[in-house]
Structure 1
Amino acid sequence: MDITWDDLVGSALLGTERRRPSGVVGDAEEAAAGLLDAAAGGVMRRRAGVRPGVAGERPAVAPADRRPELPVAARRRLGTLLADRVGDGARGRQGAAPNLAELLPQWLAAARREGYRAPAALLPALLDAARSRTDLRADTLALTGPRGLWLAGLNPEWKYALRVGHAGAAASRPEDERETRRIWEEGLFAERVALLTRSRLADPAHALELLASTWRSERAEDRLMFLDSLRTGLSARDEPFLEEALSDRSRNVRATAAELLSALPGSALAGRMAERARGCVSLGAGGVVVEAPYECDAAMERDGVAPKPPSGRGERAWWLGQLVDAAPLSAWSAQFGGLTPEQIVALPVLDDWQPDLHAAWCRAAVRQRDSGWARALLGPPPAPSAPVAAVGDPAKLLSILPADERAGWVADFIGAHGLSEAFQMLGVCAVPWAPPLGRAVVDALDIARDAGSYPWSFSGVMGLAERCLDPGAADQVAVLTAAAQEPPDGSPGATVYWSEAFQRLTGTLRLRAVMLAELRPEPIAGHPDRHPDPAVSEERTGADPGTPEGGTP
């Protein structure tokens, strides 16, 4: 039978009743069988006609990773989490079972803190998981280490790993100067970004020298990406290069350079911005007097002030905000006669300029990581009867404060205002949440349930609690798993949902406790340096697990 491959494919798609290939005879059943026979013969002919490919260059040997391997139980746990990483997020109702997809990032972070390396057999699954979830990438690349980067270089689907510079990966990929120059001058863009980021982590001055060597010949979009890498290890040594970048032909590059310089309170740009801002904001008889700029001149524009405001924003308020949030916060104490940040923030601001001025101070506090100003702008948590302040971003200001102070502030806020305004604040608190914060969250969820609140509106907080509550809070949550009596004005079926949610939270906390214990196996009694798991014993004693201690194989 001389039937072309296209004829076979067309008949298979349309069916033999509508399109029968030449040479295929009989009724419908016989024609279908004849088509399959012809297809089998066609496949054999196509395979027989394939010429053998030319063998490519053999890959380099994978680099060594001398970190300890995971304990046996932890290896099994990782395999389970990776197999179930799709999770139940698509379902409207999750039931009482823990969501394993949400446990994977916690497990990866804990394993990274313990200093383990990933099992070689699970490297592909780990890289696949991080390809679809950016929140897993940093911990995944730290855990997979140099072998993960080596493997990513062999599969285009994992090329993201070559773009992500990470401290763990950087420490495990030393390059000599000749190789560094070769990659920087001849490598692909992703390789160059990764190299620059690694160099910035290891030696910021050398990375800056590398960037400056080819800066003028780079494309504008590449210059922007390279410049962004200077955020890591930013210091006064970068100022001359960034000052030169203020004259770059790309507007985005100029804006990024100005932003980086304004994060250096001692930079010349910060001084110029301070002088302009002090000319606009002063202390008068009745409070703070604001005289916003009437124009955005060329010098202001060169220093990063965007001349055109967004829709709905006045020009003068837009220019004022940019001047104030780029000025060093230390300049305001002298401007206001030695007042502290708390005293300055408490001053009345005339002519309705307070929202603009305070919002700019909030942005400056976040950019300059000034905890004193952040504390002053936040103030104490609002009383239950007081409205929640709308100026600034409390979550960003909280992120600057020490972890214990941050957790205490949010716990007091939740106690006064509940959870409706606290979601973003909870997201910046250190994990696991401090006991007072954990108790405040659980108590607020219990109050919401007793009040008959609509349960689905708290699913986000419940998800955060599964990830962030201390596992030791499981017993406190377990008390709430019993189905409560449904309030007469509550949402129908709400109590059943709350019971399932508290059961899931309890199960998740207990499972997290088991996961952490698996990553920290107990030493064998009487031998503090020996562990039941051979990999851990090898790391602690330096002995081969198959060799008797102090002997030969």
Structure 2
Amino acid sequence: MAWQALVSCALLGTERQAPPALAGDDALGRLLGQLDGTDREGDLLRAAGVVALWQRAGQELLDDRQPCPPASAADSVPVCGVRAARHLERLLQGQNVELLPEWLEQLAAVGRRVPAALLPALLDVGARQMDVQPLLPAVLGERGDWLARQREEWRYAVRVRDEAQWSSDSQAERLALLQYLRTVDPARGRELLASTWDTELARQRRAFLAVLAIGLSLEDEPWLETVLDERSAETRAAAAALLARLPDAALVHRLRERALNVLRGTLAAGRLVLEVEPPEDEPALRRDGVTGAALPGAAVRLGEKAWRLCQMLAAVPPATWCQHWQQSPAAILVAAQASEWCDALREGWLRATLCQGDADWAEALLSLYPDHASHTAALAALLPAARFEQLLMGLLAEDPERALLILGQAQRPWSVDLGRAVLSHLRQRAAEDKSLESWASSALRGFARWLPPQLHDEVAAGWPVEARHWPRWETALNACLERLRLRRVMAEALRADA
């Protein structure tokens, strides 16, 4: 009550109302009784300070009667060295955090673990950064695994899981359990999901279906076929997308037969000509995930018929068309350029390529998507290292602009030979006194993420420092060299621990 009276006085102002008389017989009242009332503002502030401190001092601590969790098992894996720990600390503070996955991979390779003091910060970063999560169980150690169990946001990093977690109210914990089971025993993970499927909310169902991509096989097909009968279009689409990853699934065969009737190719003067008869809306197609309009959040904007065509093609292995028409992916894509349905055809084949992991089609599509925020890296990842580098070596000679665009987006390490070829081309550009375009400047900085660190000294040498535009090149080069240097010293520190 004393506090509320003081607040009321403060709101009205001491010119309108004197501070309340709070003197009394208890200890607080005797202390407040010492205020003489000659300084209203001062008395109000003094009384507020005394009452606030009195309230804080009188608060009782919460009585936590829950038993303490069992102590962590002792760590048998040695911790990384002091230098390596300092590097990790800086990464976790946000300095060059994109290098964290590389650092964690190297830490696991030398058989060391993360220092205990840095575990909370690392688990926090992992909760936000999906590419870090798969790397943590190998480097957290026993204490890190124990710590991950103590907080819901960190349970994604727990190594071994108990099926009792499936009854948890935590969606994150249940997703983590399903991910674990699909990794070690896919059939058991599917059975556990099927056992509670009827009670799951639609949003939860879609999240669980996304996890089924782990360990996906034809053994999952019978159950996924039942999900195609769900009322939710989003849930049906998620199940259909999983079935489309299985070339021998019945859904793929159904849509393949329909697609061959919808899209026909004929040879005219030795060139492929495409004819499209877009599919109409049918219940059977909707069941197989082919809808009349893009779902909310879809990245592509097509009309209804074009969207149905795109979805149908996305479910058919792209090699089907090469075999059917006896044409290469590049020739088929050239033929698509002449079709009024070009956007739908290209988008459908792109999705099918990413779905099936077809390297031949990925190589052909890379030339069409050299600088896409997500497609370029995804397509490049489908090519074996030797094939990717052979393609880029050829492009550097024939179409260097396109090669540099692809390299700026492709998220994969380079060999020494590719690194030297790129450096040679960039030095030549600088020697020709070409201004460094803004995208190229950014790309040069980004190249340091994928260049072999042992090329640091070669990267620094051989540049035409007398060129008119050299200052712009120098700024980008220095940023590249600094990141390369950091990668090299981080690797050296970890190797010293081995």
Same fold by TM-score, threshold 0.5 exceeded? Answer: yes
Is the contact between residue 149 and residue 161 of structure 1 (CA under 8 Å) also seen in structure 2?
Answer: no
In the aligned structure 2, how far is the partner of 1:327 from the partner of 1:71? 51
Counterparts of 1:220 and 1:375 in 2: how far apart (Å)? 37
Aligned partner of 1:301 among 262, 286, 294: 286
2:55 to 46, 57, 63: 46
The CA distance in 2 between the partners of 1:146 and 1:479, in whole Å, is 46
Structure 1 letter corresponding to 2:416: P
Question: Which of residues 418, 437, 452 is equivalent to 1:437?
Answer: 418
Query: Is contact 2:246–2:252 with CA below 8 Å preserved after alignment?
Result: yes
Indicate the residue corresponding to 1:549 in structure 2. Answer: none
Amino acid at match of 1:313: L
Amino acid at match of 2:314: D
Alpha-carbon RMSD across the aligned residues, in angstroms, is: 3.8
Choose from 87, 106, 123 the match for 1:110: 106
CA offset digits 1:48-86 (Å, max 9, x no partner) = 32123213313312443543321343223323443xx24
1:474 aligns with 2:462: no
Give me the identity figure in percent. Answer: 34
Which of 310, 314, 327 is the equivalent residue of 1:321? 310
Query: Equivalent residue for 2:360?
Result: 372
Counterpart of 1:357 (choices 345, 355, 361) is 345
| Larger mean Cα displacement after TM superposition, 455-464 or 276-285 | 455-464
SS at match of 2:290: coil
Partner of 1:190: 172
Amino acid in structure 1 at the alignment position of 2:458:
Q
Aligned counterpart, 1:173 = 160
Query: Helix, strand or coil for the counterpart of 1:275?
Result: helix
1:496: Cα distance to partner?
3.6
Instruction: Tell me by how many angstroms 1:256 deviates.
Output: 0.6
- 8 Å contact from structure 1 (residues 482, 499) kept in 2: no
| Cα distance in structure 2, aligned partners of 1:253 and 1:235 | 19
Cα distance in 2 for partners of 1:15, 1:421 equals 72
Letter of the 2:110 counterpart: E
Secondary structure of the structure 1 residue equivalent to 2:247: coil
Indicate yes or no: 2:150 matched with 1:151. Answer: no
Offset of 1:364 from its aligned partner? 1.4
1:67 and 2:77 aligned: yes
- 1:345 aligned to 2:345? no
Partners of 1:61 and 1:247 lie apart in 2 by 46
Stretch deviating more after TM superposition (277-286 or 353-362)? 353-362
Say yes or no: does 1:260 pair with 2:269.
no
Tell me if the contact between 2:317 and 2:353 (Cα under 8 Å) persists in the aligned partners.
no
Whichever residue aligns with residue 59 of structure 1, its letter is C
**What is aligned with 2:275?**
290
Distance in structure 1 (CA, Å) of the matches to 2:280 and 2:491: 59
State the alpha-carbon separation in 1 of the partners of residues 467 and 109 from structure 2: 44
Check 1:453–1:186 CA distance in 2 against 1; reply closer, same or farther (3 A cut).
same
For the residues of structure 2 that align with 1:467 and 1:359, how far apart are their CA atoms? 30
- Deviation (angstroms), 1:18: 11
- Give the 3-state SS of the residue equivalent to 2:293 in structure 1: coil
Per-residue CA deviations over 1:229-261 (Å, capped at 9, x if unaligned) read 100111110100111110012111100111111
- Report the secondary structure of 1:4's partner residue: helix
1:104-124 Cα shifts (integer Å, max 9, x gaps)? 443233223434321112112
Answer whether contact 2:190 2:220 (CA < 8 A) is retained.
yes
Three-state SS of the structure 2 residue aligned to 1:284 is strand
Under a length normalisation based on structure 2, what TM-score does the superposition of the two structures give?
A: 0.81
Instruction: Give 1:92's aligned residue.
Output: none
* Structure 2 counterpart SS, 1:520: helix
Shift of 1:210: 0.7
Relative distance call for 1:55 and 1:477 in structure 2 (3 A) is: same
Q: Secondary structure at the match of 2:264?
A: strand
Which of the residues 113, 116, 119 maps onto 1:120? 116
Q: Identify which range, 240-249 or 114-123, moves more after superposition.
A: 114-123
> Any idea what SS the aligned residue of 2:448 has?
helix
Are the aligned partners of 2:430 and 2:467 in contact in 1 as well (CA < 8 Å)? Answer: no
CA separation of 1:285 and 1:469: change in aligned 2, threshold 3 A: closer
Cα pair 1:74 1:515 within 8 Å, conserved: yes
Per the TM alignment, residue 327 of structure 1 is displaced from its structure 2 partner at its CA by 1.5
Q: Tell me how far apart the structure 1 counterparts of residues 436 and 332 of structure 2 sit (CA, whole Å).
A: 38
Aligned to 1:161: 154
Q: Provide the C-alpha distance between the structure 1 equivalents of 2:117 and 2:5, rounded to a whole number of angstroms.
A: 41
- Please give the secondary structure, in 2, of the residue aligned with 1:56: coil
Q: With structure 1 as the length reference, what TM-score do the two structures score?
A: 0.74
Of 487, 491, 495, the match for 1:512:
487
CA distance in 2, matches of 1:191, 1:458: 43
Structure 1's 299 and 136: CA in aligned 2 closer, same or farther, altered over 3 A? same
**Does the 8 Å contact 1:106/1:467 carry over to 2?**
no
Give the distance between the partners of 2:8 and 2:400, measured in 1 at CA. 64
Structure 1 residue 40: deviation in Å?
4.7
Return closer, same or farther for 1:141/1:501 CA change in 2, 3 Å cut-off.
farther
**Structure 1 contact 305–323 (Cα < 8 Å) conserved:** yes
Change (3 A) 1:276 1:114: farther
The residue matched to 2:59 in structure 1 has which SS?
coil
Q: Are the equivalent residues in 2 in contact too, given 1:419–1:441 (CA < 8 A)?
A: no
Offset from partner CA, 1:288-342 (integer Å, 9 cap, x none) = 4423235121111111101125896343332222222211334335533xx2645
Per the TM alignment, residue 506 of structure 1 is displaced from its structure 2 partner at its CA by: 2.0
Between the two proteins, the alignment pairs up a number of residues equal to 473
> Aligned residue for 1:278?
260
Residue of 462, 477, 482 corresponding to 1:502 = 477
Contact map agreement 2:264 2:275 (CA 8 A) in 1: yes
- Secondary structure (helix, strand or coil) at the match of 2:139 reads helix
Deviations 1:168-223 (A, max 9, x none): x46x3143xxxx1x321344222111111111111101101111111112111111
Distance 1:334 1:519 in 2: 50
**What code does the residue aligned with 1:243 have?**
E
